[in-house]
Amino acid sequence: MSRFKILALIALFTFALGLVLVGDALAGEKMKVRHSYYAVKFEPVMFGDEEGHMLAIYEGKGLTTNLQGKKFLDGWWVRECGLNDIKGKALDTYSVHGYSEFTDGDGDKIYTAWEGKKMADEAGKGTTTLIKGTGKWQGIQGRGTWISSPFVDGRWYADHQLDVELPR
Burial code of 48-59, b = ≥16 C-beta within 10 A, e = fewer?
Answer: eeeeebeebebe
Q: How far apart are CA 113 and CA 128, in angstroms?
A: 6
Q: Strand (E) positions, the chain?
A: 29-46, 54-66, 77-87, 93-103, 109-118, 124-133, 141-148, 155-165
Query: Span 29-165: which CATH code?
Result: 2.40.350.10
Q: How far apart are CA 96 and CA 106, in angstroms?
A: 30
- How much is the CA Rg of the chain, to the nearest whole Å? 22
Per-residue pLDDT tens listing for the chain (168 residues)? 555 444 333 433 444 434 333 333 434 789 999 999 999 999 999 988 888 899 999 999 999 999 998 999 999 999 999 999 988 776 678 899 999 999 999 999 999 999 999 887 778 999 999 999 999 999 999 999 999 987 778 888 999 999 999 888
Domain ranges of the chain: 29-165
Contacts of residue 67, defined as CB under 8 A and 6 or more positions apart, other chains included, come to 31, 32, 33, 34, 159
**What pLDDT does residue 51 have?**
83
**What pLDDT does residue 73 have?**
95
